Amino acid sequence: MARLNDEVGALLREYADLIQLSGGNAFRARSYEKAARSVSGYSGDLAHLDDAGLRKIPGVGDSTADKISEYLATGRIAALESLRTKIPDGVRGITKIPGVGPKTAVLLYRKLGIKSVEELQKAVEEGRLKGLPGLGERTVENIRHGIDQLSQTSGRTLLNVALELAGELVAEIAAVPGCKKCAYAGSLRRMRETVGDIDILATAKDSAPLMAALIARPEVTDVIGSGTTKTSVRMDKGLQVDLRVVPPADWGAALIYFTGSRAHNIKLRGRAIKAGMKLSEYGLFDVGDDGGDGHDGDDDSSRSAAPAKKLASRTEKEVYAALGLPWIPPTLREDRGEIEAAAQNKLPDLVQLKDLRGDLHTHTDLTDGLAPLEVMLETAADLGYAYYAVTDHAPNLVMQRMTDEKMLAQRARVRELDRAYRGMRVLHGAELNIDADGEVDWPPDFLAGFDICVASIHSSFGLDRAAQTRRLIRACQNPYVHVIGHPTTRLLDRRQPIDVDLDAVFAVAAKTGTAFEINASPQRLDLNDEQVMAAKRHGVKFAIDSDAHSTPALENQRFGIAVAQRGWLTKDDVINTWSLTRLRAFLRKPAAVEAQPR
């Protein structure tokens, strides 16, 4: 069941979309988008706020507050319902296709009557988009790829959403009398960027109360199946949850098995076979004469006494040790060499959330953030950071209305607040815009005044591979660009990555001393884990950044850490785990200066 805050946030987001789709003011639409983010991220309960309280939420003005109050009182927003009559439901759905914005969706509706993704797919296949204004051959091909991507990601859930639900379910099941242990497993425990379902594992002598607790959850819309060892349900947003209950003695082996990945488990089983053993979800066994483990199946099969000797099963560490291996962190279990590395005691000492000393990419309400500078700093200090960078948008992103005067005034305020929050050092920076030619905002003399510059692509996503590669290389060669932000520009739920030769870019970045960002926003997670591994092979350093536009988003760093771990990174690979002295030395970027044309 959705929180009221999330429910209202979704309505405001829909209103913003419909304003754009109906040809309304873009700045007005953006203000409602901002309010939607703020309402969804607000820690308090909207139901307990009066009109004055609503207006205290960052980004919520009089008009937005009136609409929220109207919804709380009547369960409807008249202005939203009016806009819904002008735009068919399916047209808004078309904007979920990566690379298809409101203008294109409206064009398709008005010119061809297309009101759904399915109708658009058919029109693409029939070639009916040819000749529409602004839709060249490359754009149509991008739409085709976007539809394919949307179909591939449908039915999958973002990591943060799945983690929140899994955490609630685990806490409730663990509180059931008789439950000894409970944890989520599967791809969620491996911290993959999206998950197809949630696997929960528990131990208890009597499984019935645990199964009943899951089935009784208000979000459950369908019970797919229920037995003594496994229950599967479907939640209100379509996500399947599987709960398995195993004996306490089998916990470790079951946790390994149901965490996966499949490729990791196959490699482990192969290692067991070579050593004359058999590994299953019930344990690690000495094969014996019949090679059995005493179980003919799973789920509701009876558990007879095992003829083979059980060597290990109670804990993961015990099972790995019996296979001659140290415990392997779940984030590494993808069969990317982790078992071979473990056998040689060469597993990386993975970077941890507690290792982060600061955040190098954040925003305030000077541009599109939701909170004032002082509030962001106070929250960052509460997280225990030694340093913190403020990097609001630069002027070439016109929607943000940045000026030199605004940025210089912020810089003066940042200098005043340096060390004011528990001694935390405050760095003044900017998120620059990488244009189609690889140039960025402001001339060198202005850029030289910043402590740190993150440079990101915010436009011209459709350039060809060669052009995208050139622009990123050019940005890496700029002596005032320290970090490349969200490098592929992808948005997991609505935009595909740009087409770029990342290996070529990484090679240059390693030479120029330009760090690459792991953007911790769960909608981005950009770079992804495989790209992180490739960049590391080139010698690139990384910044794990929240890209926070609100105080709650500062805590998204755990998702960036998950990507970094899946990419095999250590503390030494991540510049914002370093001391401020070492970080400042890196930000001087001598290699990049030498790379500039003379």
Say whether pLDDT at 147 is over 90: no
In sequence order, the β-bridge partners of residue 235 are 220
Looking at residue 476, its amino acid is C
Which range (25-34, 404-413, 555-564, 571-580) has the least confidence? 25-34
In angstroms, the Cα distances linking 35 to 15, 48, 178, 359 are: 11, 18, 44, 24
**Would you call 560 exposed, middle or buried from its count of C-beta atoms within 10 A (0-12, 13-18, 19+)?**
buried
Q: Which of 62-76, 133-147, 219-233, 551-565 has the lowest mean pLDDT?
A: 133-147
Quick one: pLDDT band at residue 93, thresholds 50, 70, 90? confident
Q: What is the pLDDT of residues 207-227, one digit of tens each?
A: 999 999 999 999 899 999 999
- Quick one: pLDDT band at residue 399, thresholds 50, 70, 90? confident
Q: Decide if pLDDT at 151 tops 70.
A: no
Distance of alpha carbon 383 from alpha carbon 377, whole angstroms: 10
Tell me: pLDDT of 124 over 90: no
Give the DSSP letter of residue 574: B
pLDDT digits (tens, 9 = 90+) for 265-320: 999 999 999 999 999 999 999 986 454 554 544 444 444 444 589 999 999 999 99
- Provide mean pLDDT across the span 129-152: 80
Amino acid code (one letter) for 264: H
pLDDT above 90 (res 353): yes
Check pLDDT > 50 for residue 4.
yes
Q: 241-255, 444-458, 489-503, 544-558: lowest mean pLDDT where? A: 489-503
Q: Tokens 């916990």 label which residue? A: 251
Q: What is the mean pLDDT of the chain?
A: 90
- Please tell me whether the overall predicted TM-score, pTM, comes out greater than 0.75 for this model: yes
Measured CA to CA, the distance from residue 181 to residue 311 in angstroms comes to 21
11-25, 417-431, 482-496, 557-571: which has the minimum mean pLDDT? 11-25
| pLDDT for residue 263 | 96
Task: Determine the Cα angle at 343 with ends 318 and 194, to 5°.
Answer: 75
- Could you tell me which residue, 358 or 19, shows the higher pLDDT? 358
Q: What is the pLDDT at residue 10?
A: 84
What angle in degrees, to the nearest 10, is found between the helix axes of 4-21 and 26-41? 170
Q: In Å, how far are 207, 566, 568 from 341, measured between CA atoms? A: 38, 14, 11
Segment 399-421 shows an average pLDDT of: 95
pLDDT of residue 152: 61
Task: State residue 208 phi and psi, 5-degree precision.
Answer: -55, -45
Listed residue (472, 529, 523) closest to 502, CA to CA:
472
Residue 593 has pLDDT above 70, yes or no: no
Residue 149 reports pLDDT greater than 80: no
Tokens of residue 542, six digits: 């990384």
Considering only CA atoms, which of 188, 335, 183 is closest in space to residue 265? 335
Which residues lie closer than 8 Å to 66 by C-beta, 6 or more apart? none
What mean pLDDT is predicted for residues 124-134?
86
Residues 173/214, Cβ–Cβ less than 8 Å: yes
Is 549:363 a contact under the CB 8 Å cutoff? yes
Q: What is the pLDDT of residue 154?
A: 60
Residue 305: predicted pLDDT: 46
By C-alpha distance, which of 260, 258, 263 is closest to 245? Answer: 258
Exposed/middle/buried for 467, CB within 10 Å: 0-12, 13-18, 19+? middle
**pLDDT higher than threshold 90 for residue 597:** no
Q: Domain 4-153 in CATH: superfamily?
A: DNA polymerase beta, N-terminal domain-like (1.10.150.110)
Fold agreement between 4-153 and 353-595: no
- Give pLDDT tens digits for 467-510: 999 999 999 999 999 999 999 999 987 788 999 999 999 999 99
**What pLDDT is attached to residue 99?**
72
Tokens 């929140």 label which residue?
A: 164
pLDDT at position 3: 67
Cβ atoms of 105 and 94 closer than 8 Å: yes
pLDDT of residue 84: 85
Choice among 220-224, 258-262, 294-298, 574-578 with the minimum mean pLDDT: 294-298
pLDDT top residue among 304 and 441: 441
**What would be the CATH architecture of the domain defined by 157-246?**
2-Layer Sandwich (3.30)
Structure confidence at residue 191 as a pLDDT band (50, 70, 90): very high
Say how far apart CA 111 and CA 90 lie, in whole Å. 15
Is residue 418's pLDDT more than 70? yes
What architecture (CATH level 2) is domain 353-595?
Alpha-Beta Barrel (3.20)
Separate counts of helices (H) and strands (E) for the chain: 25, 17
Q: Is the pLDDT of residue 357 over 60?
A: yes
Structure-block tokens of residue 591: 């290699």
> Which residues have C-beta within 8 Å of that of residue 214, sequence separation ≥ 6?
169, 173, 200, 220, 231, 233, 241, 243
Place of tokens 């989520």: 184
Query: What pLDDT does residue 134 have?
Result: 80
What's the confidence (pLDDT) of residue 296? 42
Q: So where are the chain's domains?
A: 4-153, 157-246, 251-343, 353-595
Rounded Cα–Cα distance for residues 480 and 388 (Å): 18
- pLDDT of residue 153 exceeding 70: no
Q: How far apart are CA 446 and CA 448, in angstroms?
A: 5
Rounded to an integer, the average pLDDT of 192-207 is 96
pLDDT at position 499: 93
For residues 319 and 150, what is the distance between their CA atoms, to the nearest angstrom?
A: 40
Query: Phi then psi for 471, rounded to 5 degrees?
Result: -65, -40
Token couple for 75: 């369960």
CATH topology classification for 251-343: Beta Polymerase; domain 3 (3.30.210)
- How far apart (Å, rounded) are the C-alpha atoms in residues 580 and 387? 7
Grouping H, G, I as helix, E, B as strand and the rest as coil, residue 463 is coil
Q: Which helix (H) or strand (E) holds 318?
A: helix 316-322
Residue 463 has pLDDT above 50, yes or no: yes
What is the number of alpha carbons within 13 Å of residue 341 lying toward its C-beta?
A: 16
Task: Supply 588's token pair.
Answer: 């001087």
More confident residue, 349 or 397: 349
Residue 194 clears pLDDT 60, i.e. is over it: yes
Confidence band for 359, pLDDT divided at 50, 70 and 90: very high
Q: pLDDT tens-digit profile of 323-342?
A: 999 999 999 999 999 999 99
